[in-house]
Homo-oligomer: A and B are copies of this chain.
């Protein structure tokens, strides 16, 4: 990969769309030149971010009683067509396999757009008794949507390469409801680890998952003020259980329909993380997901070069032993070019070691998030680096949280909403009636994102459409 092509300057982050596209390329996350629209290639560096991110997702799911499994990609048409609402929601975006070799298939096969209809015929056979509950299974797979809208890497794809979908089964509607809450909590925890603050809200009824009783969602606010849906959690009631005949024997011996939930996270998690933390110089990565966490730059003069290089190697080995991902950049590039390169790649901490530092028995640490320089004593370099990682992570999250709060605007008039959503997310009272909601959306020219899962109490306001009294505000936003 020709280095020279990548030394062009990144556009300023204010020009978010250009910045995002160029960053993916210059930081070697995705190559967008694959010869099919909406399909992209993960560069090794980008894939390393994905690996680290999905390790966090796996860890949090595994530790909360989920089990990873794997179901087929191809769904026979007859299974796919069983659930009426579900089909309506997906039929325009499903890819169909119609031929094997030169012969037409007896039954066309859908590429999963999501896996309810692949998994639930198996659940019909697996679910037997209330004693089996809860069943909490997830898989991380590629899914497909024939997007006709403008596609965008990591955000709107025809092959979603990294769809983590969980599917749970419970006895009662209430048990499933509790699992929805738990899933929102776990997803919030995952994003906390990525330093990404989220808005949690219930989607309006006309925007829920096809076939669900209701949908809760997590959104991030992107630098341009639009929201990005980065996690959804669906209460499926017993709708799919009835369609796929998933029954269990209750303690009283009766056969009853099970209740289900499903919830998903995709590579949008990575889109949000890099968009929110990045800056004019490139990526800024939380240490936990950075493919390179520390880069060591030897500052070399004619005299003492060997000692400096030996000290750098020693520090690298010690940090590696402490479980950190470390590189030495002893290339011939001038220091400025080295800084450019590693800053672009979001390396959280740069350690510079020269003869004078060695004399003082320190390394100079430069933080990617703040640019601050500090000396770290070499004898305790592991602890020094580790505590900087914590500080960097916390700073990234707090900065993002402040940024998010600054982009939420409480409004009372629809005109105000119309203006504020150019900058971020507006809130506005809503009586909860669908007709008022649709009128609001129409007048604003943007959709209701959702009803915040946590509401301020004891508010008494008026719906801007019907003037009915309400305690509830909703988020309104331009969305990706």
| Residue positions of A touching B, CB distance < 8 A | 1-2, 31, 33-36, 39-44, 47-48, 50-51, 67-74, 76, 79, 91-102, 109, 111, 118, 121-122, 125-126, 128-129, 132, 137, 141-142, 146, 148, 158-159, 161
Contact = CB atoms under 8 A, between A and B. Distances in A.
B122 A72 contact: no
B1 A146 contact: no
B132 A74 contact: no
A112 B50 CA distance: 22
A299 B122 CA distance: 37
B44 A74 contact: no
Nearest to A2: B128
A93 B73 CA distance: 17
Contact of A44 (B33, B67, B76, B92): B67
B98 A94 contact: no
B132 A33 contact: no
A159 B74 contact: yes
Contacts of A142: 73, 141-142
Contact of A70 (B68, B132, B158, B161): B161
A69 B42 contact: yes
A320 B44 CA distance: 32
Per DSSP, chain A at the interface is mixed
Contacts of A126: 1, 31
Given A31-B122, A33-B122, A35-B121, A159 B95 contact: no
Contacts of A161: 70, 72
Contacts of A93: 100-101
A97 B111 contact: yes
A137 B44 contact: yes
A167 to B, nearest CB: 12
A43 B72 contact: no
A104 to B, nearest CB: 9
12 contacts: A1-B126, A31-B122, A31-B125, A34-B72, A34-B118, A36-B76, A41-B69, A42-B69, A48-B67, A50-B70, A73-B142, A95-B97
A72 B39 contact: yes
Nearest to A137: B44
A47 B35 CA distance: 33
Contact of A101 (B69, B92, B121, B141): B92
A74 B31 contact: no
Contact of A122 (B34, B47, B146): B34
A109 B98 CA distance: 11
B92 A36 contact: no
Contacts of A72: 34, 36, 39-41, 159, 161
Contacts of A132: 1
Contact of A96 (B44, B76, B99, B129): B99
A81 to B, nearest CB: 13
Given A74-B36, A97-B96, A159-B73, A68 B91 contact: no
Given A73-B159, A97-B98, 12 more contacts: A2-B128, A33-B122, A39-B74, A50-B70, A72-B159, A72-B161, A95-B97, A95-B100, A96-B100, A97-B97, A97-B111, A100-B146
Contacts of A129: 2
A2 B129 CA distance: 8
A35 B76 contact: yes
Given A33-B122, A36-B76, A44 B68 contact: yes
B41 A70 contact: yes
A100 B108 CA distance: 12
